[in-house]
Structure 1
């Protein structure tokens, strides 16, 4: 099933919109990225410090790699605490309104990736 997800992700990868991605990343009610990640290695007291800073993500990972990790990081690390933003498999304690629905749409995923690829480490 995960191989099918990877193929679907690759087939649907689009350029995305940088500005929508920036807004989505900053929106703590939707993407939740900044709860665990900081934008830069310098950090920010209003951003997370549990996961790697996001400014280096594009330097380390291709657009497709970023997309696949956001979609379902469990493919790369079975014990990750990062939510699978495009998968509904194997989840527990999901609110009734979200059961069977991924946290992000394909377009939102494309937009986040578009924004992340603009970030560069200092």
Structure 2
């Protein structure tokens, strides 16, 4: 029964949408990706340089790897400054309106992963 429920959940989930993902990555009020990352190694004055550039990310990580790191990079690097976009565990100084709420929905995470999957060199 549990396997059937898991199968139903997987088949009913929407696939990530590349265009929605592109918009989310660029949105400085939602995902905040470009506050720390640049889209290309050449950089951009309006994009971050704190974290690695995103170009070619699809050649370094598969969709699952991208998803896991965006969801909670602390699993790979406990000292990371990257926010855990799908976790609310272990956070402090969270604004009351965000307490107990993840920064991204599962669909938004899928959309971002779909877009990042297009970023190959």
TM-score normalised according to structure 2 size: 0.88
- Aligned ranges 1:3-42 → 2 under 5 Å: 15-42=15-42
Gaps of 5+ in 2: 1-5
Matched, 1:57 2:57: yes
RMSD over aligned Cα atoms: 1.6
Structure 1 residue 14, shift from structure 2 partner: 5.7
- Aligned ranges 1:1-122 → 2 under 5 Å: 15-121=15-121
In 1: Cα distance, 2:14 partner to 2:76 partner? 22
Report the number of matched residues.
Answer: 112
Structure number with greater Rg is 2
Aligned residue for 1:72, secondary structure, equals helix
Gaps of 5+ in 1: 1-7
In 2: Cα distance, 1:15 partner to 1:116 partner? 14
